Amino acid sequence: MIMTTAVQTHIPAPRVKPKKAIQGEKLRGYDKVARIPIKVIPTVEAKKKPDWIRVKMSSPAEVARIKAKLREQKLYTVCEEAACPNLAQCFGDGTATFMIMGDICTRRCPFCDVGHGRPNELDKDEPRHTAETIQGLGLKYAVITSVDRDDLKDGGAGHFVEVLNESRALSPNCLIEILVPDFRGRMDIALDLLTETAPDVFNHNIETVPRLYKAFRPGSDYQHSLDLLKIYKERRPDIATKCGFMVGLGETEEEVYALLDDLKAHDVDMITIGQYLQPSKNHAPVDRYVHPDEFQRYMDYGKRLASLAFGQAQWYAQATLPIVSTMAKIAQHLSAAKKALEAEGKLGC
C-alpha cells in the first residue's frame, strides 16, 4: 500500500507573490516554500500530537545560560534556527548543535524551518568563536552542522576544517561530529579537505525515502547522498559515518526497511531515525505520528543488518527525544572502538 501526503502538484496560484531573495535577508514560511516545484498546501488544522510525543521541559536556567553564551559569541544553533522541539532537553543537558556559515540556507526544503535566501559572506572569526564556546561550555561531545552553501566553491568544507582545527586546539579531549550538507557539485573538493582534516564522526542526513525526494528535498539527490557517505568511508575507514532520516512524511514501513538496506550497503556505521514535526502551517504536513513500537521494529531490523569494522554497530531509533543519550552512546562507542583499533595497530591517525 502506498501512503499519500498532502503535498500536491496542482493548486491555485497564490494571490500574493512571494518575496525575492535579498542578500542577508531570511525568507521563511510561505516566502520560502512558494517557489519549490511541488507546492505545499498550508495546513488548516494540524494533527494532534499523541501522548508519546509530549515531553517534560528541562532546566530553564541551563537553557538561558547556553543561549546567553551563544549570543555572546554571535553563534547560531540548528536547535534554534530549525525550531527543533528537542531544544529544551538538549540545552538543559548542556548540549547544542552549532550551525556554522550563517543562518541563511541556499535550499528550500519544505520540512525545515531554517531561513532561505542569499547568504552573507563567511565570518572569519566564527571558527574561533565556536571553539571558545565549546571550551567555555565544557563539552565532551560537540556537533557542528551548517546551512547549505551552494554559493561557495567548496560548499563550505574549508570552513568546517577551520572549525575543527580551532576546536581541537582548545578542547583536545572533546569528540567532534560534523553534520555536513551534500556538497552538490563540489563533492570531490569537499571530501579532499575533510579527508585530510577528519572529525570523529562524519554525519550526513539523507532525510527521507527516495520516492519523497522531489517533494521534500528539491535540489538534492538520494543516490548522491548515499555516495557521499560511502566515498568518505572508503577514504577514511577509521572514521565513523552516521546518517539520519525522518519518518511521518508519508513513507511506508517497507520503504524504511529498503532505506536501511541502502545505508548498510553504503557502509554507514550509525543511524538515527526521528519523528517529523511540522514547524509551521506553511511547511509540509505531518502524515502520521509513528508509534514507538514501529521505531522498535526499525531498530531491531538495523541491529540484524549490522556488521562493522568497529565492532557492534550502533543503530538508534528515536521516538521523541533521546538525542543526548544517543550522543553519549556514540561517544562510548567511539572510545571503545578507537582503543580496539589502537590495540590492533590499525589506527594510523
Nearest of 143, 144, 334, 340 to residue 240 by alpha carbon: 334
- Say if residue 10's pLDDT is above 80: no
Asked if residue 1 belongs to a domain, the reply is no
Number of domain units in the chain: 1
Asked if residue 99 belongs to a domain, the reply is yes
Across residues 307-321, what is the average pLDDT?
A: 34
Across residues 299-322, what is the average pLDDT?
A: 50
pLDDT band per the 50, 70, 90 thresholds, residue 163: very high
Across residues 94-102, what is the average pLDDT?
A: 80
| pLDDT of the residue at 89 | 62
Amino acid identity of residue 327, one-letter, is: M
| pLDDT of the residue at 325 | 45
Asked if residue 52 belongs to a domain, the reply is no
Task: Determine contact, residues 186/155, Cβ cutoff 8 Å.
Answer: yes
Dihedral of the alpha carbons of 209, 118, 116, 104, in degrees to the nearest 10: 100
Across residues 167-188, what is the average pLDDT?
A: 95
Question: Which residues, listed in sequence order, are joined to residue 97 by a DSSP beta bridge?
Answer: 143
- Say if residue 341's pLDDT is above 60: no
- Which residues are CB-contacts of 281 (< 8 A; sequence separation ≥ 6)? 42, 43, 44, 46
Question: What is the SS3 string spanning 10-77?
Answer: CCCCCCCCCCCCCCCCCECHHHHHCCCCCEECCCCCCCCCCHHHCCCCCCHHHHHHHHHHHHHCCCEE
d(CA 289, CA 152): 37
In this predicted model, what pLDDT tens digit does every residue of 257-298 receive, in sequence order?
A: 999 999 999 999 888 888 888 887 878 889 999 998 898 888
| pLDDT of the residue at 312 | 30
Q: Average per-residue pLDDT in the chain? A: 78
Pairing of strands 7-8, 314-315: unpaired
Asked if residue 154 belongs to a domain, the reply is yes
In this predicted model, what pLDDT tens digit does every residue of 68-88 receive, in sequence order?
A: 777 777 676 655 655 565 666
Task: Determine contact, residues 217/193, Cβ cutoff 8 Å.
Answer: no
Across residues 204-214, what is the average pLDDT?
A: 95
Asked if residue 149 belongs to a domain, the reply is yes
Angle between helices 222-235 and 253-265 (to 10 degrees): 30
Burial class, 130, CB count within 10 angstroms (exposed 0-12 / middle 13-18 / buried 19+): buried
In this predicted model, what pLDDT tens digit does every residue of 113-141 receive, in sequence order?
A: 777 788 889 999 999 999 999 998 888 88
Across residues 295-323, what is the average pLDDT?
A: 54
Cα angle 116, 120, 124; round to 5: 130
| pLDDT of the residue at 156 | 96
| pLDDT of the residue at 27 | 63
The three grid cell numbers given for residue 131, joined into one nine-digit string:
571553539
Asked if residue 339 belongs to a domain, the reply is yes
Asked if residue 171 belongs to a domain, the reply is yes
Angle between helices 253-265 and 292-305 (to 10 degrees): 30
Question: Which residues, listed in sequence order, are joined to residue 241 by a DSSP beta bridge?
Answer: 202
d(CA 81, CA 271): 23
DSSP at 10: -
Amino acid identity of residue 65, one-letter, is: R
| pLDDT of the residue at 349 | 35
Nearest of 230, 210, 275, 228 to residue 249 by alpha carbon: 275
- Say if residue 299's pLDDT is above 60: yes
H or E element, residue 304? helix 292-305
Please, how many CA atoms are within 13 Å of residue 345, restricted to the half-sphere of its CB? 0
Neighbours of 4 (CB within 10 A): 8
- Which residues are CB-contacts of 304 (< 8 A; sequence separation ≥ 6)? none
Amino acid identity of residue 62, one-letter, is: E
Asked if residue 10 belongs to a domain, the reply is no
Across residues 56-78, what is the average pLDDT?
A: 67
- How many whole angstroms from its chain centre is CA 34? 23
Task: Determine contact, residues 165/194, Cβ cutoff 8 Å.
Answer: no
| pLDDT of the residue at 184 | 92
Across residues 203-225, what is the average pLDDT?
A: 94
Q: Which of 42-56, 110-124, 165-179 has the lowest mean pLDDT?
A: 42-56
| pLDDT of the residue at 340 | 53
Domain of residue 299 covers 58-344
Cα angle 224, 225, 231; round to 5: 85
CATH number of the domain encompassing residue 253: 3.20.20.70
Q: Of the spans 48-52, 173-177, 306-310, which averages the highest pLDDT?
A: 173-177
